[in-house]
Amino acid sequence: MNIGVIGYGLRAEYVLRNFNDFEMGVNLVSVCDPCVDKAKVRIQSSGYKAQEVTFYDDIDEMMQKEKLDGVMIGTLCKSHTDIAIKVMKYNIPMFLEKPVAISLEQVKALEEASKSYTAEAVVSFPLRLTPICQLAKEIIDSGRLGRIEHVEAVNNVNYGRVYYHDWYRDESLTGGLFLQKSTHDLDYINYLLGTKPVAICAMESKQIFKGDKDAGITCSKCEEYKVCPESSYTIRHQYHDGVDGEGCAFAKDTGNHDSASILTRYETGMHTVYTQNFVVRKKAGKRGARLIGYKGTLEFDFATSELTVFSHTTGTVEKHYVDTSGLNHFGGDKALCENFVEVMSGTGVSKASLQDGILSALMCLYARESASQDKFYNIEL
């Protein structure tokens, strides 16, 4: 199968590496990206040969000249919708990076375009396809816990510096951290529950990563370079961590909240609570959920690959460990790639559909609006 890539950034590199490493029979034949030299380096890192790839400046030219079985869209977030709509005209399978949209206008445009799109899209939601999430789904659907009546989910992001130092700080490019992070977690919660979210509200705080430093200032140009707790110098030499970008975390243009919480009501009347923060570091990181039914409770943590089932009736505690060492996104990326191969070959359907992507983006957009307006929103277009 032949695939073309529009926007060969870091995410595309990771995904294409899975196709190659696990010998899925996917040939990279074309790339549309304005930064050809950088794309060539990433192609080589993915295990493909850049000299065997045809490069294009124009998406339509690539789509018309190449005989493609699928297209991956890995551009900056703000352009996902426009490019997806352009690709839809050719009615071939696409792998669409999240978020699928960063505004309500984009969501509506994508929803309208999808009405005439008869191929399938696989949205980049690896968490729902991880082995640990699949095990949770199996246990929940078995009825052992009873119907799930409450969910407590958390994402303590221990690599959060990237959202204040690098280009992610520019919310005009990303849509903000609800759309960058919550979109994954809200999606896997929807998947596990198998029921419809109907209303949402949210709150966000920016208590730490804010300040009065000049907009555009970088660490190495600042007089506090060697004493600032968030400078690239301190991160490297005191915390012994990697550095993503040199933007000042305490400047006027830092962007992004440093913590947020979302309440969601579902059609059954139950509600979920999800919270994320970008302040924790190192071993304080955690990502997972506790799902509570009348008969039992299930909790899991993607970071530790551990899942525990508590019986409310017998008092037994059942522990599972799912080994995903060495796999990106806790094994979810491999599963996403396998699913896209199935979709391209016509042997399977999408397990992370465009409608799943639209719903998650819509929830995040209303959460973002709620956080600024202090009100509930019904989840509807």
The 10s digit of each residue's pLDDT in 372-381 is 999 999 999 8
Confidence of residue 326 (pLDDT cuts 50, 70, 90): confident
Distance of CA 135 to the CA centre of its chain: 20
Confidence of residue 226 (pLDDT cuts 50, 70, 90): very high
pLDDT at 290 over 90: yes
Domain carrying residue 374: 127-209+255-325+352-378
- Express each pLDDT in 157-207 by its tens digit: 999 999 999 999 999 999 999 999 999 999 999 999 999 999 999 999 999
Distance of CA 220 to the CA centre of its chain: 31
Residue 332 included in any domain: no
Residue 331 included in any domain: no
Whether 112 and 89 map to the same domain: the answer is yes
Residue 27 included in any domain: yes
- Express each pLDDT in 113-137 by its tens digit: 999 999 999 999 999 999 999 999 9
Whether 34 and 118 map to the same domain: the answer is yes
**Domain boundary at 226, 253, 280, which?**
253
Mean pLDDT along residues 220-232: 95
pLDDT at 17 over 90: yes
The Cα 30–Cα 62 span in angstroms is 7
- Please give the pLDDT value at position 243: 85
Q: How many CB atoms within 10 Å of residue 48?
A: 20
Q: How many CB atoms within 10 Å of residue 347?
A: 8
Residue 347 included in any domain: no
CATH number of the domain at 81, please: 3.40.50.720
Mean pLDDT along residues 60-84: 98
Beta strands in 138-285 (DSSP E): 148-156, 197-205, 259-266, 271-277
Mean pLDDT along residues 22-35: 97
Residue 343 included in any domain: no
Residue 334 included in any domain: no
Residue 339 included in any domain: no
Q: Where are the alpha helices (DSSP H) in the chain?
A: 10-21, 36-45, 59-65, 80-88, 104-114, 131-141, 162-165, 171-174, 177, 183-193, 232-237, 332-345, 354-373
Whether 296 and 163 map to the same domain: the answer is yes
Residue 120 included in any domain: yes
Confidence of residue 244 (pLDDT cuts 50, 70, 90): confident
Whether 111 and 133 map to the same domain: the answer is no
Coil vs helix vs strand at 84: helix
**Domain boundary at 124, 146, 161, which?**
124
The pTM of this model reads: 0.97
Report the domain count for the chain: 3
Confidence of residue 348 (pLDDT cuts 50, 70, 90): very high
Whether 291 and 238 map to the same domain: the answer is no
